[in-house]
């Protein structure tokens, strides 16, 4: 399944196109001209793992299953595929560039404004979708249980989920799309797929908006860390309200209050976006993202043989833990 992620695509630029020698990165390894990587193939793989294994893992045990899903569905596969594609994973997943603390704080502040805007969008969406959908896709039920369960879910959703999902969507997926699309189209495409991944038609518009802003943050900075900060703050606020039993800001309320919340969120987000533009005047070039691991073999077509045994062992550990969750559930745990 993984072998076919990048099949059918050109791995290097056509020989008839003259290329200037790209600059070396900080490690001394030369980047290569961006290949065309299959973002859709990666997304299909992700959804197969998410729907087939992640969903059942969370059915076995909600909290342990969520932790397993974030680690072995969203975090590990992008690394394995990047390494197996002869790419250095840190640059391709936008992990290597460390932004200034100011930029991370701007990202975190943006997360608060995003929470307000997404809540208003959610409230407007609830007004037009069938009520049965709202009840069926009510995520607050995930936080039902003991205090320890609610705390564990909140921490997982606020810390691990933002990191893992940003690596997958603003890391691998956005970079793969940018190998053959302009930045705006790549951000839009990754955001649509991010919203689709949640399998939640009620939250689709709100998650799409979140994905667009997070993708824009990652593109301008050349790093996922500000987006991780924004994603984490957004999730932390929602998780805290759900775990504490407070009313969701996206719950249907008076239209005037919803529009006021939307206006407040936009008013808070606009100056933050302007500050972000000033802080990141020149987005890094794409060629700094695609750094080849083995210059002797310039192909970036995925090969399982390129994956180091240690990374393969981690994938095997994930399968063992998945089986353990199944045995735990079968034993009545």
Domain ranges in the chain are: 26-330
Task: In whole angstroms, give the CA distance from residue 213 to residue 188.
Answer: 10
Question: What pLDDT is attached to residue 70?
Answer: 97
Q: Is the pLDDT at 2 greater than 50, yes or no?
A: no
Q: How confident is the model at residue 63 (pLDDT cuts 50, 70, 90)?
A: very high
156-170, 278-292, 299-313: range with highest mean pLDDT: 156-170
Question: What pLDDT is attached to residue 47?
Answer: 96
pTM for the structure as a whole: 0.87
Indicate the SS3 state at residue 120.
helix
Mean local confidence (pLDDT), 184-203: 96
Question: What pLDDT is attached to residue 21?
Answer: 41
DSSP state, residue 2 = G
Do 214 and 231 touch, CB atoms closer than 8 A?
Answer: yes
Which helix (H) or strand (E) covers residue 81, if one does?
helix 76-84
* Cβ neighbours for 174, distance < 8 A, ≥ 6 positions apart: 94, 186, 187, 190, 215, 218, 219
Rounded to the nearest 5 percent, the helix, strand and coil shares of the chain are 70, 0, 30
% of the chain residues with pLDDT over 70: 86
Do 96 and 187 touch, CB atoms closer than 8 A?
Answer: no
Q: How confident is the model at residue 53 (pLDDT cuts 50, 70, 90)?
A: very high
Calculate the average pLDDT of the chain: 88
Do 173 and 43 touch, CB atoms closer than 8 A?
Answer: yes
DSSP state, residue 305 = G
Question: What pLDDT is attached to residue 20?
Answer: 36
Do 42 and 173 touch, CB atoms closer than 8 A?
Answer: yes
Task: In whole angstroms, give the CA distance from residue 110 to residue 272.
Answer: 6
If we measure between CA atoms, which residue out of 165, 169, 168 comes closest to residue 234? 165
Tokens of residue 233, six digits: 């703050």
Task: In whole angstroms, give the CA distance from residue 266 to residue 202.
Answer: 21
Mean local confidence (pLDDT), 166-188: 96
Q: Is the pLDDT at 19 greater than 70, yes or no?
A: no
Q: Is the pLDDT at 167 greater than 60, yes or no?
A: yes
In the beta sheet, which residues pair with residue 291?
31
Question: What pLDDT is attached to residue 182?
Answer: 94
Question: What pLDDT is attached to residue 139?
Answer: 87
Task: In whole angstroms, give the CA distance from residue 138 to residue 135.
Answer: 5
Q: Is the pLDDT at 230 greater than 90, yes or no?
A: yes
Question: What pLDDT is attached to residue 187?
Answer: 98
Q: Is the pLDDT at 322 greater than 90, yes or no?
A: yes
If we measure between CA atoms, which residue out of 144, 133, 109, 55 comes closest to residue 279? 109
If we measure between CA atoms, which residue out of 182, 185, 187, 205 comes closest to residue 195? 205
């Amino acid at each position: 399944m993984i072998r076919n992620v990048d099949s059918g695509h050109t791995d290097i630029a056509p020989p008839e196109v003259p290329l200037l020698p790209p600059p070396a990165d900080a490690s001394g390894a030369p980047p290569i001209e961006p290949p065309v990587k299959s973002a859709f193939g990666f997304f299909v793989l992700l959804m197969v793992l998410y729907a087939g294994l992640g969903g059942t893992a969370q059915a076995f045990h909600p909290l342990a299953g969520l932790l397993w899903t974030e680690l072995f569905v969203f975090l590990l596969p992008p690394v394995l595929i990047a390494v197996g594609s002869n790419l250095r994973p840190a640059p391709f997943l936008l992990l290597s560039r460390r932004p200034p603390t100011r930029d991370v704080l701007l990202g975190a502040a943006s997360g608060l404004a995003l929470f307000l805007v997404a809540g208003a969008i959610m409230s407007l969406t609830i007004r037009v979708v069938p009520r049965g959908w709202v009840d069926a896709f009510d995520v607050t039920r995930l936080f039902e249980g003991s205090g320890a369960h609610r705390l564990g879910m909140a921490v997982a959703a606020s810390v691990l989920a933002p990191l893992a999902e940003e690596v997958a969507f603003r890391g691998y997926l956005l970079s793969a799309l940018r190998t053959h699309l302009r930045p705006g189209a790549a951000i839009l495409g990754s955001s649509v797929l991010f919203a689709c991944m949640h399998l939640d038609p009620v939250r689709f518009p709100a998650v799409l908006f979140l994905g667009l802003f997070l993708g824009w943050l990652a593109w301008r900075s050349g790093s996922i860390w500000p987006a991780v900060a924004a994603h984490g703050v957004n999730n932390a606020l929602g998780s805290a309200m759900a775990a504490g039993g407070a009313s969701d800001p996206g719950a249907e309320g008076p239209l005037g209050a919803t529009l006021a919340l939307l206006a407040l969120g936009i008013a808070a987000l606009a100056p933050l976006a302007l500050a972000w533009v000033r802080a990141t005047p020149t987005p890094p070039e794409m060629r700094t993202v695609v750094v080849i691991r083995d210059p002797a073999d310039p192909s970036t077509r995925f090969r399982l043989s390129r994956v180091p045994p240690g990374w393969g062992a981690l994938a095997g550990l994930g399968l063992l833990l998945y089986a353990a969750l199944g045995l735990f559930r079968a034993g009545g745990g």
